[in-house]
Amino acid sequence: MPGLEGVPGPFLRSRRAGGVGQKAPPGRRGRGVSDLARIAGVNIPTNKRVVIALQYIHGIGATKAREIIEKVSIPDNRRVNELSDSEVIQIRETIDRDYMVEGDLRRDVSMNIKRLMDLGCYRGLRHRRGLPVRGQRTHTNARTRKGPARPIAGKKK
């Protein structure tokens, strides 16, 4: 295209970058698509063990990851880059069939919180006010939920 001679390197046209003027996503520069395993909409790391890599998916922890690889009958010490395509498909189907993960789980949690807020119950009010929900003290601490401390006028000694 005319007039692109002075454009710096990462802004050059490429299929992955989506056209002129857009950078390629940070994790995808200089790497082929074939070395990624994509399960439940997440690119899981290829050089880690399957049990660890599955935990990169929101909603799958250590216990569920072990359950999944037992259902698919994959050994514990197998790494993601050693998986065959059929094993990746089996893992993907098992997760889709038996577990609520990623977007569905996030939506479900947010709908539950919204339901509590609409009911006006104690937990809903705490969510609405941005205070701790599970009985923690708020006289001191609770800065994670309340945000940074705001100065009060006339409070100096």
Residue 52's pLDDT band, with cuts at 50, 70 and 90, is: very high
CB 130 within 8 A of CB 146: yes
d(CA 80, CA 115): 39
Per the listing, tokens 């880690």 go with 48
CB 40 within 8 A of CB 92: yes
pLDDT tens string 102-136: 889 999 999 999 999 999 999 999 999 999 999 99
DSSP code at position 49: B
pLDDT score at 16: 47
CB 109 within 8 A of CB 94: no
d(CA 47, CA 25): 20
If you average pLDDT over residues 23-48, what whole number do you get?
66
What torsion do the CA atoms of 145, 148, 149, 152 make, to the nearest 10 degrees?
-110
pLDDT score at 94: 93
Question: Would you state the structure tokens that stand for residue 62, as one six-digit string?
Answer: 């250590």
Would you say how long the chain is, in residues? 157
Cα diameter, the chain: 70
For residue 22, pLDDT over 70 is answered with: no
Three-state DSSP class for residue 38: strand
If you average pLDDT over residues 51-60, what whole number do you get?
92
| Strand blocks (E) in 12-79 | 37-39, 42-44
Average pLDDT value over all residues in the chain: 81
d(CA 86, CA 90): 6
pLDDT tens string 63-115: 999 999 999 999 989 999 988 889 999 999 999 999 998 889 999 999 999 99
Residue 37's pLDDT band, with cuts at 50, 70 and 90, is: confident
d(CA 131, CA 150): 15
